[in-house]
């Protein structure tokens, strides 16, 4: 029988591969025992193919190790399901191995084998928390049709239905296993926090939860900010503040968003999802792996009330050039350490994206993982409609997505907030 919040009264699995990478960095020992997500980012990762991203452990190896770590006590195992057909339709850095029409392979060569393996661990003390398909469904809301942000690839994934069908299949197959807790990816406030995409995204999540054999009962909750950089709480301004009668919503940073940070977004999205038909008991996760924004440049109080932009820009922790920037952000730091039940409606703060693993290469690097070169990872790029035509803010010299990026890890450590003791 499932518990309400799988993180309560449980430890969380420490991935030995990430842990060793972290421990090998100067200062990295301080966080090497933190739990991070285990990403099944290709079919080969299930068996363990000694790849640069997943190392030499397959899913079964991780689960055996998790059973050891659990020693009979409850232990959360965080598993990221990330291999949809036509993956990452609005970007190139994490394009995957399956073409847009390969739903069948997704189901039979990816989800089915994962479900078969997980079923063998259904009677252990593990609580398997899945994160279902990062950056998929929100793309079908914001990056399609006649919007300036549309891409032909996202139009195709909307038209062929394979994101919705794939997510539905994953929810149904994995949700049939007693100790699996499915959390669907829900983007972040800087993506679907606006009137014209917030409600529509929740509606699409509900559609996917009723597709291809799934029911809303297969959904235990949602995860916000996965692998993103949006601040947890912006303490120096709030959405209802005004400067001389002008709302902070009118500042260029907030740009009419209804939210300023992830905690307020995640709590409001939870309410919206419940009002659209999800169970009142659903819980939210927030990925705080890289949204700390500490270090010497962190504002210590509100900005000046000279005008609304000065007020917001002077006070905000999130130092990105634009909230649409997502690749290897310069100035970022580790966020809150993983924590169970930190706030109402929030099941946990988690580190789903393993800190130190790249978001994408800063220049074209040939690889056999299907990964493309996205100029959002190039520090000299001047942007596109999805980041307000801004500079990318990416660190230079980054390797292909998922590969270890020592310089980024060092910066995340240095700019951690709360700081590393
Ligand atoms: C990459 C994956 C990797 C994951 C975690 C993604 O951006 O595409 O290959 O497993 O990040 O680092």
pLDDT in tens, 222-277: 999 999 999 999 999 999 999 999 999 999 999 999 999 999 999 999 999 999 99
- CA distances 224 to 81, 89, 134, 330, Å, are 15, 19, 10, 21
Give every CB contact of residue 24 below 8 A, 6+ residues apart in sequence. Answer: none
387-398 tens-digit pLDDT: 999 999 999 999
Residues 136, 404, 371, 326: what is their CA dihedral angle, to the nearest 10 degrees? 40
Strands 75-81, 11-12: parallel, antiparallel or unpaired by DSSP? Answer: parallel
**Average pLDDT of the segment spanning 295-322:** 97
Residue 198 token pair: 């917030």
Beta carbon of 53 within 6 Å of any ligand 1 atom? yes
Q: Give yes or no for residue 126 having a pLDDT over 90.
A: yes
Percent of the chain with pLDDT over 70: 100
Which among 357, 361, 403 is the best mutation to test ligand 1's pocket, defined by most ligand atoms within 8 Å of the CB?
Answer: 357
Q: Which residues are registered as beta bridge partners of 346?
A: 284, 343
Q: Taking 80 as the threshold, does the pLDDT of residue 50 lie above it?
A: no
pLDDT score at 365: 96
Rounded to whole angstroms, how far apart are CA atoms 308 and 303?
A: 9
| Phi, psi dihedrals of residue 246, rounded to the nearest 5° | -100, 125
* Mean pLDDT score, 288-315: 97
Give the per-residue pLDDT at 293. 98
Predicted local confidence at residue 79, as pLDDT: 98
CA 120 to chain CA centroid, Å, is: 27
Phi, then psi, of 280 in degrees rounded to 5 = -65, -15
What is the residue with the minimal CA distance to atom 3 of ligand 1? 402
Confidence of residue 51 (pLDDT cuts 50, 70, 90): confident
135 part of the active site: yes
200 or 51, which is more confident? 200
Query: Taking 90 as the threshold, does the pLDDT of residue 53 lie above it?
Result: no
pLDDT band at 2, cuts 50/70/90? very high
Establish whether residue 354 lines the binding site of ligand 1, counting it when its CB lies within 6 angstroms of any ligand atom: yes
**What pLDDT was estimated at residue 369?**
86
Q: Is 36 in the pocket of ligand 1 (CB under 6 A)?
A: no
Per-residue pLDDT averaged across 404-417, rounded? 98
pLDDT at 117 exceeding the cut of 80: yes
Q: Which residue has its alpha carbon closest to ligand 1 atom 6?
A: 402
pLDDT at 56: 87
Least reliable range by pLDDT among 40-54, 182-196, 263-277: 40-54
Establish whether residue 411 lines the binding site of ligand 1, counting it when its CB lies within 6 angstroms of any ligand atom: no
Alpha-carbon distances of 299 from 236, 294, 330, 335, 391, rounded to whole Å: 8, 9, 16, 16, 22
Q: 341-383 pLDDT, tens per residue? A: 999 999 999 999 999 999 999 999 999 888 999 999 999 999 9
Residue ID of nearest Cα to ligand 1 atom 1: 402
Percent of the chain residues past pLDDT 90, beyond the cut: 96
The length of the chain is 421
357 CA to centre of own chain: 13
| Distance between CA atoms of residues 389 and 385, nearest Å | 5
Task: Return the pLDDT at 374.
Answer: 96
Inform me whether the pLDDT recorded for 133 exceeds 90: yes
Please say whether the beta carbons of 78 and 35 come within 8 A: yes
Could you say which of 135, 218, 261, 347 is catalytic?
135
**Predicted local distance difference test score (pLDDT) of residue 368:** 86
Work out the mean pLDDT of the chain and round it to a whole number: 97
CA 51-56-59 angle, 5° bins: 100
């Amino acid at each position: 029988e499932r518990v309400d919040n799988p993180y309560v009264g449980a430890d969380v699995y420490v991935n030995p591969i990430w842990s060793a990478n972290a421990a090998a960095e100067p200062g990295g020992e301080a966080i090497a025992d933190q739990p991070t997500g285990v990403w099944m980012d290709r079919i080969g990762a299930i068996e363990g193919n000694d790849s640069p991203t997943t190392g030499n452990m397959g899913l079964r190896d991780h689960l055996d190790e998790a059973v050891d770590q659990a020693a009979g006590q409850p232990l959360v195992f965080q598993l990221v399901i990330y291999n949809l057909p036509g993956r990452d339709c609005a970007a190139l850095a994490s394009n995957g191995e399956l073409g847009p029409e390969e739903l069948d392979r997704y189901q039979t060569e990816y989800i089915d084998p994962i479900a078969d393996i997980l079923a063998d661990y259904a009677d252990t003390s593990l609580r398997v928390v899945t994160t279902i398909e990062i950056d998929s469904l929100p793309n079908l809301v914001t990056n399609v049709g006649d919007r300036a942000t549309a891409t032909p690839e996202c139009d195709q994934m909307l038209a062929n239905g394979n994101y919705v069908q794939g997510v539905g299949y994953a929810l149904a197959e994995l949700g049939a296993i007693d100790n699996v807790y499915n959390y669907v990816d829900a983007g972040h406030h800087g993506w679907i926090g606006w009137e014209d995409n917030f409600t529509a995204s929740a509606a699409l999540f509900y559609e996917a939860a009723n597709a291809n054999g799934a029911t809303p009962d297969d959904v235990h909750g949602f995860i916000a900010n996965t692998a993103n950089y949006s601040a947890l709480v912006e303490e120096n301004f709030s959405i209802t503040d005004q400067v001389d009668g002008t709302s902070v919503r009118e500042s260029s940073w907030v740009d009419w968003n209804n939210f300023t940070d992830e905690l307020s977004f995640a709590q409001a999205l939870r309410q919206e999802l419940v009002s659209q038909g999800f169970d009142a008991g659903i819980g939210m996760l927030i990925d705080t792996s890289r949204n700390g924004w500490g270090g010497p440049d962190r504002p210590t109080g509100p900005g000046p009330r000279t005008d609304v932009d000065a007020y917001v820009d002077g006070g905000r922790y999130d130092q990105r050039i634009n909230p649409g920037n997502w690749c290897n952000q310069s100035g970022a730091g580790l966020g809150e350490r993983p924590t169970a039940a930190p706030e109402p409606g929030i099941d946990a703060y988690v580190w789903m994206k393993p800190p130190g693993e790249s978001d994408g290469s800063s220049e074209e690097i040939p690889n056999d993982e299907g990964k493309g070169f996205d100029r959002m990872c190039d520090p000299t790029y001047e942007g596109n409609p999805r980041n307000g035509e801004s500079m990318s803010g990416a660190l230079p010299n980054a390797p292909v997505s998922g590969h270890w990026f020592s310089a980024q890890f060092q910066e995340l450590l240095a700019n951690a907030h709360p700081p590393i003791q």
